[in-house]
Structure 1
């Protein structure tokens, strides 16, 4: 004979509860599990903003930049201001892997990384090949600066986003100075070096402007990693 299960009725306030009602009542009286604790809220330092979609990219870039041997510091990141200028994933580059800078320069991390790679892979090897000595300093006219393009119809320069740097010269190990203004068009090793590295920059940067581009760049190189493409090395 098959065994049968009989649920004894239970009366509450004079009413007999069915089996289904008993199950519901048991579920309601059972101890409830505590909801999982909310993750801690990360509070950025004053002047800093969190960019969740860019955190991984920033970390990877910083690791790659540190691996080059360059010296740098993190700088505050801000949302675009009323003029549209911003510096996202920014660093203050203090020194290139194998050469000093005329002064620290603020750039986006990807721009700084590209610049250090160019110094290590082009600027230094070319100097050693042509002069038998390294560069010991790169002279620049600035990176992140809130300004508009000259003759650009009011469009913001890539400098306004930290994606560009202007270079006006170099110093060799023996103290010899290479000047874009004075030697870009001259014969001899100095002029040849300046023209060669300017052309090579087109494989590392999206826009390369030199004295060959226009009179606005008669005294410096402009290198940037913006969305436009132009090679006037």
Structure 2
């Protein structure tokens, strides 16, 4: 005689101890796998290995951000990655120029594959992020929108011992800007290979609507801004406030923001 479903004995629920043991086994297996990959006991392609050094020439993938952040945190690893870029630079001695001002592990960038005008002083993390942005975001966008590369980047400066500027100038008593530690660069414009000049002040779409397809310049600037958010910790542009109406503020080491 079949039992009524309501009379069938319920299966005992797994005990809390068994659940914890199962979770511990999974964690142990994951930890063992991670250790095996990190120590080279198990070899996997570098593009799938989060502990492999950043390959600055490789197309970005889902691990690029992790590897870039790891390189930026470790001075020796950062310089090793920077040495792959082909950029020309002079290392700068660590220095303190005032309260909260100065830099460590910094360099003067002489050549970056594009003309820069004056040579900016940048921290190694900032220079590494600049290369990744220029190589993997800016140039592909320029070729897509114009069929040619960017030949020059106009900037408004990098290192400056000053406070944060929120539109009213550098306010006394405010926190230090990332410029004060050579962790920021202000990009004002681009010059294409054919000589066309594109500036944030004149070509950024001001109404917030989609840029006209008749002129790819605003689209390129949008692409450049969006791409920068992948390779820098902080990106501010004209949509943020009036103080940034004529440039993109790019920085490393601060809070994550893309405005």
TM over 0.5: yes
SS at match of 2:240: coil
Deviations 1:24-77 (A, max 9, x none): xxxxxxxxxxxxxxxxxxxxxxxxxxxxxxxx9333322211211111111121
The offset of 1:84, in angstroms, is 1.6
Number of the residue aligned with 1:203: 230
- Residue 129 (structure 1) aligns with: 144
Instruction: Report the 3-state secondary structure (helix = DSSP H, G, I; strand = E; otherwise coil) of the residue aligned with 2:110.
Output: strand
1:166 corresponds, among 181, 186, 204, to: 186
Out of 94, 97, 101, the position equivalent to 2:110 is 94
Q: What TM-score results when the alignment is normalised by the length of structure 1?
A: 0.71
> Counterparts of 2:115 and 2:88 in 1: how far apart (Å)?
10
Q: CA RMSD in A?
A: 1.6
* 1:167-199 deviation line (CA, Å, top 9, x unaligned): 000110000001000001163211110011101
Q: Among 155, 176, 189, which residue is 2:175 paired with?
A: 155
Correspondence for 1:108 among 116, 123, 136: 123
Q: Distance in 2 between matches of 1:165 and 1:227?
A: 13
Q: Which has the larger radius of gyration?
A: 1
Q: Which has the higher strand share?
A: 1
Counterpart of 2:256 (choices 225, 229, 232) is 229
CA distance in 2, matches of 1:123, 1:71: 19
Gaps of 5+ in 1: 1-55
Gap regions ≥5 residues in structure 2: 1-72, 206-210
Counterpart residue number, 1:117: 132
Deviates more, 1:148-157 or 1:215-224: 148-157
Matched residues, number: 175
Inter-CA distance 146–82: structure 2 relative to 1 (3 Å threshold):
closer
Give the structure-2-normalised TM-score. 0.64
Q: Which has the higher helix share?
A: 2
Per the TM alignment, residue 81 of structure 1 is displaced from its structure 2 partner at its CA by: 4.3
| Distance (whole Å) between structure 1 residues aligned to residue 230 and residue 78 of structure 2 | 19
1:174 counterpart SS class? coil
